[in-house]
Amino acid sequence: MIEQSNKEGIAIDRSKPPRNMPLPEMVWPVVVQQPIEWAGGLLPVDLIEGGEQDLVRVEWQFSAGSWHESKPLLAALTNRMLQEGSVGHNSKQIAEQLDYYGAYLHHEGGVHRSMVGVYCLGKHLEAVLPLVWEIIFQPTFPEHELKTTIQNRLQELSVSRNKVSVLSRNRLMGLLFGPQHPYGYSTREEDLLSVTVDDLRAFHQQFYTVDGLRLVVAGGNTHQALLKLQRSCPTELPKGNHPVMSESNRPVKPEGDHLTTSGDINPSFQSSGNNSRHPQDKSLATYPPVDQKMNGESATQNDQPAHEESAMQEDRVKHSGQLPQWQRVEKADATQHALRLGRTAPTRTHPDYPALEVLITLLGGYFGSRLMKNLREDKGYTYGVGAAIHSRVMSGWISISTEVGASVDHEARAAIIHEMNRLCEEHVSLEELNRVKAYLEGSLRSAFEGPFSPADRLSDVQVFGLDFSYYQRYLVTLRNIQPEQLQALATTYLRPETFTAVIAGGTETD
């Protein structure tokens, strides 16, 4: 026994872990919705107070993602080019003015949304905000800056093409959603070279408008920041008229071009006659919750376990052990092979999603996961392996990925399938489940720490029409989920034959 005394002189046995202490109840952030006025009406603003420091972040969020673009890369390049020149400042002057006040501009062109934000000390916010409004709503998109940006992206693309991890990801997403779908698209050289300044200006004029704009103010003393935001707001802002995402413009099921991988949905993306990448009058199939398909009770409730239904149990046994068909991306000189499996899955709005996060974390979502123990600790096939569930507005997907030595890729594939089947066929032990629960609750608490983290968590779910109550429901599910419920989810979402599998590296003869 290893003993050590604490400051009171009481012996402590260091060979035993400290006993678990109950965690305090989570204190959920408060969102104050307080619009600001401009000449055309009101702009919605979310205030999320965080911290006592005089540090503020203001974000402008637009419905201006790649979902809405008429040709590839317009959303990302338009967002990237905003800070390269405005009507009153060139890129050098913008950088110098932000640096003078210690402000930092960040931006992101996403799939459904694009965003521009500024971090700044509260005392300098009033001096910085007019410049940010100008950058966002009055950019000039200089030709020489666009050429430089495109050249940089081409160099990045050239480097990434040699990485088996990138090759496998691009192929998998193209198979799941279709290569022209915003979820399945991967950057091509010819698409970069085809983008013009006029393209960017047209996209900006249509989508960087007050329609769909939401402002988020986070940090210390947000009410003072709101007043400064109100005073700095221009009297004239562009209005727009672009499609709002709805049931009538979702991705569609393919008619033969792309692999069906889940047995439930496989959204594709078709261009309309006006060369728009936005789908027209299509609908996306939905997932019945596990509770409806199994026994009419919620998969996160502690009622009659679904796995006890004999007919369903026989179906699981029949399916277990079947293998996905592996799609090869050839790269003969690769010393490592990238393995990636995936299938479509529900989004955050689906009742199964919180419990699926628990299941996928147990499979491969943290260092103590089953995949990590098998492929890294027990067999030494890889330095790292992971599984994750992803959610965008119109579809989610599950992914499993790793890189292994070329000599053990067959063994690694078998080990991954083995762990997927185990979760379909066996109950998780309470000890293992409690360990995952503790990890995920700790991660959730960490995700809300800091002055800006609560605002990030709100943005993560707001695009789905959700609010902080989503995380409250997630925590209830996390604390109450039982092994039999995880097995029911696994038999629905982790059957190997429902996955598309890609291997990047080697050749077809390997």
Query: CA 299 to CA 487: how far, in whole Å?
Result: 10
Report the pLDDT averaged over residues 471-493.
97
Higher pLDDT, 371 or 21: 371
Q: What is the mean pLDDT of residues 363-392?
A: 96
Mark which of 209, 232, 255 sits at the end of a domain: 232
- 196 and 48 both lie in a single domain: yes
Rounded Cα distance, 289 and 485, in Å: 12
Read off the pLDDT band of 23 (50, 70, 90): confident
Bridge partners (DSSP) of residue 118 are 58, 105
Q: What is the pLDDT of residue 305?
A: 33
Q: Which helix (H) or strand (E) holds 476?
A: helix 469-480
Averaged pLDDT, 336-359: 96
**Which amino acid, residue 226?**
L
Which of left, alpha, beta for 505 (phi over 0: left; psi -120 to 50: alpha)?
A: left
Let me know whether 42 and 124 are in one domain.
Answer: yes
Handedness of CA 401, 403, 407, 408 (dihedral sign): negative
Task: Give me the pLDDT at residue 249, please.
Answer: 42
Is 25 part of a structural domain of the chain?
no
Domain identity same for 106 and 211: yes
**Which amino acid, 317?**
V
| pLDDT score of 264 | 37
Assigned domain for 298 exists: yes
- Half-sphere exposure at residue 283, Cβ-oriented, CA atoms within 13 angstroms: 3
Pairing of strands 114-121, 55-62: antiparallel
Residue 124 lies in a domain: yes
- Pairing mode, strands 45-49 and 214-219: parallel
pTM flag (> 0.95): no
pLDDT of residue 24: 87
- Beta-carbon contacts of 288 under 8 Å, excluding residues fewer than 6 positions away, are none
Task: Inform me whether the pLDDT recorded for 191 exceeds 70.
Answer: yes
Looking at the structure, tell me whether residues 214 and 305 fall in a common domain: no
Query: What was the pLDDT predicted at 223?
Result: 94
Whether 213 and 325 map to the same domain: the answer is: no
Whether residue 97 is found in the same domain as residue 210: yes
pLDDT higher than threshold 80 for residue 74: yes
List residues bridging with 201 in a β-sheet: none
pLDDT score of 242 = 54
Is position 370 within any domain?
yes
372: left (phi over 0), alpha (psi -120 to 50) or beta: alpha
Confidence of residue 8 (pLDDT cuts 50, 70, 90): low
The per-residue pLDDT of the chain, averaged, comes to 85
Any idea which residue has 């997403």 for tokens?
Answer: 173
Same domain, 169 and 311: no
Q: Which of 215, 232, 249 is the last residue of a domain?
A: 232
Q: What share of the chain has pLDDT > 90, as a percent?
A: 74
- 484 C-beta neighbours (distance < 10 Å), count: 17
Check whether 410 has a pLDDT greater than 80.
yes
Q: How confident is the model at residue 452 (pLDDT cuts 50, 70, 90)?
A: very high
Domain for residue 406, yes or no? yes
Residues 433 and 302 in one domain: yes
CA pair distance 20, 13, nearest whole angstrom: 15
252 pLDDT above the threshold of 60? no
pLDDT > 60? residue 258: no
Q: Are residues 306 and 225 in the same domain?
A: no
CATH number at residue 219: 3.30.830.10
Secondary structure (DSSP) of 183-209? TT----HHHHHH--HHHHHHHHHHHSS
Q: How many domains does the chain fold into? A: 2
pLDDT higher than threshold 70 for residue 463: yes
Instruction: Please report whether residue 77 resides in a domain.
Output: yes
Select from 188, 206, 232 the last residue of a domain. Answer: 232
pLDDT tens readout for residues 296-328: 334 444 333 333 333 333 343 333 345 778 999
507 confidence band (pLDDT: 50, 70, 90): confident
- Are 295 and 398 in a shared domain? yes
Q: With cut-offs at 50, 70 and 90, classify the pLDDT of residue 6.
A: low
Tell whether 69 and 144 lie within a shared domain.
yes
Using 50, 70 and 90 to split pLDDT, how confident is the model at 39? confident
Other beta carbons within 10 angstroms of residue 277's beta carbon come to: 20
- Assess whether pLDDT exceeds 60 at residue 337: yes
Residue 245 lies in a domain: no
Q: Specify whether 212 is located in the same domain as 294.
A: no
Provide the 8-state DSSP code for 17: P
Note whether 494 and 345 are within 8 A (CB).
no
Domain that holds residue 340: 290-504
Q: Is residue 464 part of a domain?
A: yes
How many CA atoms does the CB half-sphere of 341 hold within 13 Å?
A: 25
* Cα distances (angstroms) measured from residue 303 to each of 44, 357, 484: 43, 20, 10
**Cβ-based neighbour number of residue 5 at 10 Å:** 9
Integer distance in angstroms from the first to the last C-alpha of the chain? 53
Name every residue whose Cβ is closer than 8 Å to that of residue 122 and which is 6 or more positions away in sequence: 54, 55, 56, 219, 220, 221, 224, 225
Q: Does residue 473 surpass a pLDDT of 90?
A: yes
Residue 370 pLDDT class (50, 70, 90 cuts): very high
Q: Is the per-residue pLDDT at 408 higher than 60?
A: yes
